[in-house]
Amino acid sequence: MRESMATDIQKLIGTSEEDDEEMDMDVKEEDEENGGKHIAAQIMVGMDGGMTSNSSDNQFQHHQQFQEQVSSPGGGGARRSRPLEEKERTKLRERHRRAITARILAGLRRHGNYNLRVRADINDVIAALAREAGWVVLPDGTTFPSRSQGSRPAGGTSAAVTSSSSHLVSQPTTPPGSIRGVSPGHRTPVEYNSCRMKGVFIPNPSPYDQSASTQSQTPGMVGEGREQTESDPRVGGSMDTINDKQIVAIPPIPKLTERDFAGSPFIPVYVMLPLGAINMKCELVDPDGLLKQLKVLKSANVDGVMVDCWWGIVEAHAPQEYNWNGYKRLFQMVHELKLKLQVVMSFHECGGNVGDDVCIPLPNWVAEIGRSNPDIFFTDREGRRNPECLSWGIDKERVLRGRTAIEVYFDYMRSFRVEFDEFFEDGIISMVEVGLGPCGELRYPSCPVKHGWRYPGIGEFQCYDKYFLKSLKKTAEARGHPFWARGPDNAGSYNSQPHETGFFCDGGDYDGYYGRFFLNWYARILVDHGDRVLSLAKLAFEGTQIAAKLLGIHWWYKTASHAAELTAGFYNPCNHDGYAAIVATLKKHGAILNFSCSELWAVDQQVDFAEAHSDPEGLVWQVLNAAWDVGIPVASENALPCYDRVMYNKILDNAKPLNDPDGRHFLSFTYLRLSPLLMERQTYMEFERFVKRMHGEAVLDLQV
C-alpha cells in the first residue's frame, strides 16, 4: 500500500520562504497505530543539510525538501498531537533549511548575477536555472525547451520532469558549463547517490571518476515502470531493463590527463583577501578570524596575500586627509606570519559588479563635487553617469578642489609609500598594482551592470562627458574634419550584438575613415591615461615592482570587429593589434602586466560562449605573446571562482606553456579570493595541490 502511494507522487512541490509562522504548521507523520492512514512521503534532492561543497561555489547543491501528505480513502481517525519537544525540533529543522536556502539565494545573486527577489523561494531558483539553460518557464510553471532545443511538449507539460502512470524519469541535468562561472569539475559523492529518488538521474560525468577502459553503470538509480526497448533520446547513454527496473549505462569517460610540473619553474602564489577586510572606518574586520585563515594559507605554502587599499576608505572625508590605521594592523599581521604583500591602489568604487559583496564608494568629497559637476564621471550616449571611477577626461583638469585627477592619485600613492616605508625597505611589499579604471583595470566602463548590460552584450562607448567631447572636437579639427567631433550614432546599445549595428557589423563603419579615426582617438585616450598614472607610480614606488591590470574581453573575439573590445578601449579588430601600444607603455615604465583571463578557456564548451563567438584561448595567447615579445613580465589571476582541478590545470598550462623555446612563464599568480569555501577540507586540499604544482613540486596523485 505504501509503495503504491509513493509511486503515485507525480509532482515535486517546493516549499516557500515566506513568514516564520509556517514553522508552526504541523508535519504529519506516519501513524503506526492507525495502519498508515497518514503517510508523509519525503523526497530529498541534493545534500543532507550540510553546506560543504567539493567543487565550486557556483556548482549549486540545492537542498530541497518535499512533502506530500497522503491520506487513506476513508480519511477517518484523529491525528495524534505531538509533544512540544518534537515541535521544537521541527522548528529547528525548518530554520536550518531556510538558512541553507538563504545562502544558496545569496550565492546566486552574488556570483551568478541572477535577478532573484529578496524573498525568493525554491521555485524561483529552479526557474532561474531553467531559463539560464535555455528553457522557457511560463508564470504558471509550464516549462518547455526553447525553439533552439526542440518543440514544445504536447499539453504544455513540464519538460523538466516527465512522468507516466507508473514511473518518473528525471531530465538530464544541464551541464554546469552552461551556467556562467561554473566549471565542470569533479562531483560530490552525493550527486551519484542513487537512493534518494525513484527515477533516473544522469549527472554530468567527471573526467577523472572513470578510466577510459572502465565501463561504468550507475547502480541503484532505477525507475520502476514499463520495459523500454530503446534508449530515451534525452539521456546520454543506453537504457536497459533488469527485473522490470530501468538502468542507465553511462558512457565511459577517460581520466583527466595532467602534465607533470615537477621541476618546472617556481611561480609564487598569492591569495586575494576579501573585499571587505577593512571597513569604512578603516578598521580591520574580524582580525582573529582572518588570522586563522592566514595561518591556514601559510600551511599551504602560499607566498603572500594581495589586498585592495581603497581610496574611498583612506581619503574618505576630506582631500589629503589619509587614514591608514586598519591597513597598518593588517600589514603587521601578514609580516608576523612571514608572508609577502601585493597591494592595489584602488581608485574605483566597489559594489555593483559581479562578485562584489560590499559597497565602498568613492570619497565623500568627490561625490559632492560630482553632484555639482557630473561630467567628472564617465558618461554614455544617453547621458547616464557612471560613478564607479573618475573620467579620464579630467586627468589634467583642476576640478578636484584645485587638483587634477592625476595629482590626486599621486598624492595618495606618495602617502602610502611614506606611511609603510618599513614594509618597502624590508621587502614585505613585493608589488604595487595601480588602479587605472573600473575594477582597477585599464579599460573603459563599457559594460556596467547597473545600466542594464548583460553578457554577451557589446557594451557602449563612454566618451560623452564634456571633457571627452572637448578632446574629440580638438582632435577632429586638427585632422581637418570638424564634423567628426561626435560619437558613432549607429553603434547599438549595451546588449546589442555586432551584426545588429551598422557600426560593428561585417563591413561596418568601424573600418571606414571616420570609424578608424574615432577608434584611434578613443584607444589613445586609454593609453595616455595609463602612461600618465604609471609614470607617477614609478616615481612614488621607486625600487618596487608596479603593475597594471587588463581584463580579457573575450566575447565577440571571433568576429571581424571585436565589438566588445572596441567599446572597452582596445582597438583590436581583425586588421589591427589593439594591445601593442598598451604593452609598449608598460615596458616604458617597467611595469608588470596582470592579465585576468587565464582560466576562462577551461569552460569554452559553454553554449553561450559559442553564441557570443568567444575565444578566450585565442585572446590569452595574443596578449601573452604581445607582452612576452617585448620582454614584459606577466602576472595573472583567475577571473572566475575556481575550486576544481580542471580549472587549476588550465591555469597551470597557461602559467607554464608547454615546450616554450624561451622557457617563458608567469611571474606570479594571484588567487581570487580568500573565502570560507576555500577553507573547507576538499577545496583546500585541491588548492594546496595546485600551489605545489605552481611551485614546481611533485604531487602523488598525478594522472598521466
Kindly state the DSSP code that residue 521 receives in the 8-state scheme.
H
Residue 119 has which C-alpha cell? 524573498
Cβ atoms 391, 377 nearer than 8 A: yes
Cβ atoms 559, 610 nearer than 8 A: no
Show Cβ contacts of residue 308 under 8 Å, excluding neighbours closer than 6 positions.
Answer: 273, 275, 343, 344, 346, 350, 440
Dist. CA 258–CA 653, nearest whole Å: 10
| Short-list 489, 576, 562, 563, CA closest to 524 | 576
For this structure, is 637 an active site residue? yes
Cβ atoms 100, 63 nearer than 8 A: yes
Dist. CA 503–CA 514, nearest whole Å: 11
What's at 213, amino acid-wise? S
How many CB atoms are located within 10 Å of the residue 623 CB? 23
| Short-list 456, 490, 448, CA closest to 562 | 456
For this structure, is 441 an active site residue? yes
Residue 77 has which C-alpha cell? 481517525
How many CB atoms are located within 10 Å of the residue 90 CB? 17
SS3 content of the chain, % helix, strand, coil (to 5): 35, 15, 50
Q: Could you please report the per-residue DSSP string of 464-504?
A: -SHHHHHHHHHHHHHHT-GGG-S--SSS--TT--GGGSTTT
Residue 618 has which C-alpha cell? 585565442
Question: Does residue 618 sit in helix, strand or coil?
Answer: helix
| Short-list 526, 529, 349, 346, CA closest to 443 | 526
Cβ atoms 294, 332 nearer than 8 A: no
Kindly state the DSSP code that residue 329 receives in the 8-state scheme.
H
Residue 325 has which C-alpha cell? 590605521
Residue 135 has which C-alpha cell? 528553457
Burial code of 237-253, b = ≥16 C-beta within 10 A, e = fewer?
Answer: bebeeeeebbbbebeeb
113 burial level (CB within 10 Å; 0-12, 13-18, 19+): middle
Residue 403 has which C-alpha cell? 587638483
Tell how strand 340-346 and strand 269-272 pair up: unpaired
| Residues linked to residue 248 through DSSP beta bridges, in sequence order | 239
**Of the listed 132, 191, 441, 460, which one is catalytic?**
441
Residue 322, CB half-sphere, CA atoms under 13 Å: how many? 19
What's at 561, amino acid-wise? S
Dist. CA 218–CA 623, nearest whole Å: 44
**CA separation (Å) from 556 to 459, 543, 690?**
11, 40, 31
What's at 589, amino acid-wise? H
**CA separation (Å) from 395 to 350, 360, 400, 405, 526?**
21, 22, 10, 5, 11
| Short-list 528, 658, 607, CA closest to 178 | 607
Cβ atoms 505, 482 nearer than 8 A: no
Cβ atoms 394, 407 nearer than 8 A: no
Kindly state the DSSP code that residue 72 receives in the 8-state scheme.
-
Q: Could you please report the per-residue DSSP string of 173-204?
A: PPPGGGSTT----PPPGGGG--SSSSS---PP
Catalytic residues: 441, 637
